[in-house]
Each structure stands twice: as structure tokens, then as C-alpha cells.
């Protein structure tokens, strides 16, 4: 649960550093030594490039760009195949026996691949920018060098080398081989990975929009769980943003955008304008499910813009300090212009350092807060798998729980119930009128689309026309019903409500059902929520007994008799 709460933030931080660690090579700028050392250490931990391990490439037979690209595009595929094979074997020999399943060969392969898919998606996330950048470098421009000049015609004879590997002469068979391999790598990584994301997400889009869960949608959680169901595709958008900033922008000259040369100020301005525009769009769409993820994404985006601005200033400083003969360019301008363009390297270093470190600092602070918060939150899990329950719903159903209440004496309590139950049962979808009601005339349809109807018994509930519409339809539809009562702020005693307000034809709902008491003291309130969570699980017909459930609290597994009692 802790990793899931931090997953979006970790991905955002990794994306920031995947871009920041490649800025020097993409924009042909040299960072100050202090920033270089910091980024080199970060790059070693996140980019998984063999250059970063200090091993001479010649020792591995990878001294040419061709063999380096071949190795970098091949090893992730081998790792992915090994992960799938490992999970399939584990499922065959261990997993199915632990889960009490008997699967045929196809079932074992399917279950093993579903279990390995989250790991594979994380590997793809890590290698995508690294291999994509290398693949585009194979399609990079050639750098011409003049080798002679005809004294009569003044015509220049030149030879061009591939910028990614100056041992490769452009136009030769070796150059053609590099381009062919780079094209294959582009098809597999920059094009293939986002395409596969799209294909897999399209298979579960209706499930996600209906806020239901299946084994496949859960296995794809790395791609969609951090986003709103209406923006389940946002991981693909983030992948292409990263691709543009670390790869595509470096070869825009190949796309007939001659003005945007590699290493030019205009290239950096293009990247900066792209980042700012993307940030505005993201703030308008607000794709993240949690508000704190939106804030952390904004912090990462601002830090990236901050780094790009200081990188541009560093580029300007390189120009002013470049040499013409024995003099610097700054020596040829007036004193006023020198004051305007001269930049103190100390402040450039400080600014870049702050921009790079800020995201790691934000992540550390948020992680500490999440760890503290997670230790206090109870989570309902299945004993067999130690996973949170996956709830079954009929194709016509959308919500696992419908909170039926009257506003005057039940609104605040039900808002708290939804918020806290969503934490205890992360996969549960809960209907609350203030969040989900679009048409007051469709109350019966909302009831039909819900599995369990929780009636918050309070003063005025049975006198409300709309509340009676909900309850009467639930009874007529034979829906599962749970009852909850607040003895402090319910407005009246339970006996008074029953004798004075409950219609005769509805009094039978109180017979044979336990009344859950709503408490305001935190420790007792958790018991109330656990009792409700147990009824949600039972209503969703998981095919398991309540003894397979256990509460996870403060990092330890423990049983709660109130939660686990038999029906």
C-alpha cells in the first residue's frame, strides 16, 4: 500500500531525472563539475546504461556504436522474457497450490504472465528513454569536415561522420547498417512500447470507466491506477512527452526543421516552450486521481523548467566566454553590454544544483509523510494472497456501495464513510450523492447499478421522499442492505425513529440484520468501518469465507473478531 501511494510520485521523480540527466548530451552544453557529479550519480542508478558502470566498452566488445545499440536494445527483451518465464514457473510449482487453484497449461501461462506484467511494465518505464535516445542517435545527423579545397575552383571536398560515432563514415555500408539497426530499435521502443500501452489499455477502458476491477486491469495498474478513469491513457502521453524531450528534439533537423539545430538556443527555446505548454494543458486536465499527486507533478514540472532556464543561461555564458584568438567574445563588447550578458558561474551552479536536488527533496518529504500516514491506516486484505479484494460486479453494475442518507442528519457522516472506506478497500467504488448524483430522477437506476445499499438510519430519513424511493427500490430489487446508526448526531434515538418514522412495509429490514454503530472516536470508528467493509466483501460474492480476511494495521497482520465473525 505504501508503494502504491508513492508510485505516482516516484514515477514523476524518475521522469524528471531521466530528462535532466540527458540534457548535456541533447543540448550540447557542459554543466559545472558539481552538477555533473550529482547527475552522474543519479544517472548510474536510474538509466541502466553500461557506460555508467565504469566498464570499458572495448572489454565487452561494444566499442562501436552499432554493437552498443544492439546490446542496449536486446538486453531488456531478454530480461522481460526471463521475468515472464520466472513467474510462469513459480505459478506452476508454487503459486497455484498456495491459492488452492488447479490450472491447465494455458491457465498457468496466463496467470504467470499476469503476475509478471507489473514488473515488465516497470522495466519498460525505466529503459524506454535510454534505448529511445540511443536509437534516435543512430538516425542522427552527419557532421561534415573539409579535407581539401580546390585552388582553382575553390570547391571544398569534405567527408561526413555520424555524430553518434565518428568512426562511422556517412554513406558507407557501416553507416547503412547503423541506420537499419536504429530503425528497428525505433520500431520496438519509441513506437512499439507506447503502442502496446495503448492496445492493453484499450482492452480495459470500459472496465476502468465503470470503476470495476479485473485481473488484467489490476495487472495494468502501473499504467492507469494513478490517473482518473477519464484519463486512463495519460501514461502514454507522459511517455511521448519524455520521448520528445530526450530524443526527438535532438534530430529535428532531419524533419526539415533546419532552424532547430542540435545545441542551438532555438532548440532549447523549443524544449522550454513545449514544457510550459504541456504543463498548462496538464493543469487544465488534472489527470491524476489524488490531489497531492497533482501538486507533486507540478513541483517536478516547475523544477524541469527551472533547470532548462538555467541551462539556457549557461549556454549564453559559454558564448560570452568562447575564444576568438586569444581574446574572449566578451572582450569585444562595450562595458554596458558586458554587464548585461556576463553571468556569475557561482549562481548558475547554485541554481542548477537547486533545480536538480529539489525533486529528490520533495520526494523524501512526501515519502516520510506517507510512511507515517500508512502506519495509521487499516487495510482489508485476503488471507490467502495478502492482496486487497478484487470485487465482482455484474456488467450492469457500477458501484460496490451506495450510501443512502438524508442530508440534514447524515451528510457529514457519509462523506467520512466514503473517504475512509475507500482507503480500507482501495478497489471499492462508492456512490455518494454529492460526488456522483447527476440526475435526481434516476435514483432507481443508481440503485440498480449498486451492489450493497447502506442505509444511514437517522431522524428524517424515513420521511424523505427521495430516501424512500431509494430504499423501496432496493427492497423490491432484492439488493443487499446494510444498516448504520449514529447515536450522537442521528437526531433521535433508534427506538423513536423505528416507532415514529419507519413505514410498516419497511420495518422488516431491521429484522435479522446487525445495526452498525457509527462512532466518532478514531479507534472505535475503525471498527465501524471494518464491519461495513466486511459486508461489502460479502455482498460482492467473492466466493470466500470471511475467515480469509484479515486487517492490516500499523505494519502488522492481525485478526479482528468484530470484522471476521461468521454470518
pTM (whole model) above 0.75: no
Q: 207 or 96, which is more confident?
A: 207
Going by pLDDT thresholds of 50, 70 and 90, the confidence category of residue 32 is confident
Radius of gyration of the chain (CA): 30
Instruction: Name which of 12, 72, 30 is nearest 47 in CA terms.
Output: 72
- Give the mean pLDDT of 405-418: 91
Residue-level pLDDT at 547: 39
Going by pLDDT thresholds of 50, 70 and 90, the confidence category of residue 255 is low
- Give the mean pLDDT of 419-440: 86
38-59 tens-digit pLDDT: 888 887 767 655 554 445 555 5
In the numeric block, which cell numbers belong to residue 69? 545499440
Residue-level pLDDT at 314: 84
Q: Give the least confident one: 37-46, 183-192, 393-402.
A: 37-46
CA angle 374, 304, 310 (to 5 degrees): 140
- Give the mean pLDDT of 277-281: 93
Q: What is the percentage of the chain residues whose pLDDT exceeds 90?
A: 34
Going by pLDDT thresholds of 50, 70 and 90, the confidence category of residue 416 is very high
Residue-level pLDDT at 80: 96
313-369 tens-digit pLDDT: 888 777 666 655 566 656 666 666 656 666 777 877 888 888 888 888 887 887 777
Residue-level pLDDT at 53: 46
- Give the mean pLDDT of 258-268: 72
Residue-level pLDDT at 552: 39
DSSP string, 90-158: HIIIIIHHHTT----HHHHHHHHHHHHHHHHHHHHHHHHHHHHHHHHHHTPPEEEEEEEE-TTT-PEEE
Going by pLDDT thresholds of 50, 70 and 90, the confidence category of residue 401 is very high
Distance CA 374, CA 523 (A): 15
Instruction: Name which of 444, 494, 435, 487 is nearest 465 in CA terms.
Output: 444
Q: Give the least confident one: 161-165, 226-230, 481-485, 497-501.
A: 161-165
344 CB-contact burial (10 Å; exposed 0-12 / middle 13-18 / buried 19+): exposed
205-226 tens-digit pLDDT: 988 887 677 889 889 999 998 9
- Give the mean pLDDT of 270-283: 92
In the numeric block, which cell numbers belong to residue 528? 465501524
Intra-chain end-to-end CA distance of the chain, in Å: 29
DSSP string, 356-417: HHHHHHHHHHHHHHHHHHHTT--EEEETTT-SPPPPP--TT--EEEEEE--HHHHHHHHHHH
| pLDDT above 50 (res 550) | no
- Give the mean pLDDT of 507-520: 90
| Residue showing cell 467493509 | 533
441-489 tens-digit pLDDT: 899 999 999 999 999 999 999 999 999 999 999 999 999 999 999 998 8
| pLDDT above 80 (res 130) | yes
Q: What is the percentage of the chain residues whose pLDDT exceeds 70?
A: 77
- In 3-state terms the chain splits into helix, strand, coil percentages (rounded to 5) of 65, 10, 25
Residue-level pLDDT at 198: 95
Average pLDDT in the chain:
81
Going by pLDDT thresholds of 50, 70 and 90, the confidence category of residue 406 is very high
Amino acid at each position: 500500500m505504501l508503494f502504491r501511494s508513492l508510485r505516482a510520485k516516484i514515477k514523476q521523480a524518475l521522469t524528471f531525472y531521466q530528462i535532466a540527466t540527458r540534457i548535456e548530451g541533447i543540448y550540447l552544453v557542459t554543466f559545472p563539475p558539481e552538477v555533473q557529479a550529482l547527475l552522474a550519480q543519479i544517472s548510474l542508478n536510474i538509466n541502466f546504461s553500461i557506460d555508467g558502470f565504469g566498464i570499458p566498452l572495448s572489454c565487452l566488445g561494444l566499442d562501436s556504436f552499432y554493437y552498443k545499440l544492439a546490446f542496449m536494445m536486446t538486453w531488456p527483451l531478454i530480461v522481460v522474457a526471463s521475468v515472464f518465464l520466472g513467474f510462469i514457473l513459480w505459478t506452476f510449482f508454487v503459486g497455484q497450490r498456495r491459492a488452492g487453484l488447479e490450472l491447465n497449461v494455458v491457465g498457468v501461462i496466463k496467470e504467470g504472465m499476469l503476475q509478471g506484467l507489473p514488473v515488465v511494465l516497470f522495466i519498460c518505464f525505466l529503459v524506454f528513454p535510454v534505448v529511445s535516445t540511443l536509437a534516435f542517435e543512430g538516425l542522427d545527423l552527419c557532421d561534415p569536415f573539409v579535407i581539401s579545397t580546390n585552388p582553382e575552383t575553390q570547391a571544398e571536398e569534405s567527408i561526413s561522420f555520424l555524430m553518434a560515432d565518428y568512426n562511422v563514415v556517412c554513406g558507407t555500408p557501416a553507416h547503412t547498417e547503423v541506420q537499419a539497426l536504429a530503425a528497428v530499435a525505433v520500431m520496438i521502443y519509441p513506437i512499439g512500447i507506447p503502442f502496446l500501452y495503448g492496445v492493453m489499455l484499450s482492452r480495459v477502458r470500459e472496465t476502468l470507466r465503470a470503476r470495476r476491477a479485473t485481473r488484467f486491469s489490476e495487472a495494468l495498474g502501473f499504467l492507469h491506477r494513478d490517473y482518473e478513469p477519464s484519463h486512463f491513457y495519460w501514461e502514454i502521453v507522459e511517455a511521448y512527452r519524455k520521448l520528445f524531450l530526450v530524443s526527438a528534439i535532438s534530430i529535428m533537423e532531419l524533419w526539415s526543421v533546419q532552424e532547430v539545430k542540435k545545441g542551438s538556443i532555438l532548440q532549447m527555446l523549443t524544449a522550454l516552450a513545449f514544457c510550459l505548454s504541456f504543463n498548462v494543458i496538464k493543469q487544465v486536465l488534472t489527470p491524476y486521481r489524488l490531489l497531492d499527486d497533482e501538486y507533486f507533478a507540478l513541483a517536478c514540472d516547475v523544477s524541469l523548467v527551472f533547470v532548462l532556464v538555467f541551462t539556457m543561461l549557461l549556454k549564453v555564458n559559454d558564448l560570452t566566454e568562447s575564444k576568438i584568438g586569444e581574446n574572449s567574445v566578451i572582450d569585444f563588447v562595450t562595458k554596458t553590454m558586458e554587464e548585461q550578458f556576463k553571468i556569475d558561474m557561482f549562481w548558475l551552479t547554485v541554481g542548477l544544483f537547486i533545480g536538480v536536488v529539489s525533486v529528490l527533496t520533495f520526494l523524501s518529504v512526501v515519502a516520510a509523510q506517507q510512511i507515517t500516514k500508512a502506519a495509521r491506516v487499516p487495510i482489508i486484505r485476503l488471507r490467502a494472497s495478502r492482496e486487497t479484494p478484487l470485487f465482482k460486479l455484474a456488467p450492469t453494475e457500477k458501484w460496490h456501495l451506495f450510501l443512502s442518507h438524508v442530508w440534514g442528519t447524515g451528510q457529514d457522516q457519509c462523506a467520512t464513510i466514503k473517504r475512509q472506506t475507500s482507503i480500507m478497500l482501495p478497489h471499492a467504488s462508492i456512490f455518494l450523492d454529492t460526488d456522483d448524483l447527476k440526475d435526481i430522477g434516476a435514483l432507481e437506476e443508481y440503485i440498480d447499478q449498486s451492489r450493497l445499499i447502506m442505509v444511514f438510519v437517522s431522524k428524517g430519513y424515513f420521511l424523505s421522499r427521495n430516501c424512500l424511493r431509494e430504499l423501496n427500490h432496493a427492497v423490491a430489487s432484492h439488493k443487499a442492505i446494510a444498516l448504520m446508526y449514529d447515536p450522537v448526531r442521528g437526531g433521535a434515538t433508534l427506538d423513536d425513529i423505528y416507532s415514529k418514522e419507519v413505514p410498516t412495509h419497511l420495518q422488516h429490514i431491521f429484522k435479522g440484520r446487525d445495526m452498525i454503530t457509527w462512532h466518532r472516536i478514531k479507534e472505535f470508528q475503525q471498527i465501524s468501518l471494518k464491519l461495513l467493509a466486511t459486508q461489502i466483501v460479502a455482498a460482492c460474492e467473492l466466493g470466500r469465507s470471511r475467515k480469509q480476511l484479515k486487517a492490516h494495521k500499523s505494519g502488522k497482520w492481525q485478526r479482528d473478531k468484530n470484522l471476521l465473525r461468521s454470518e
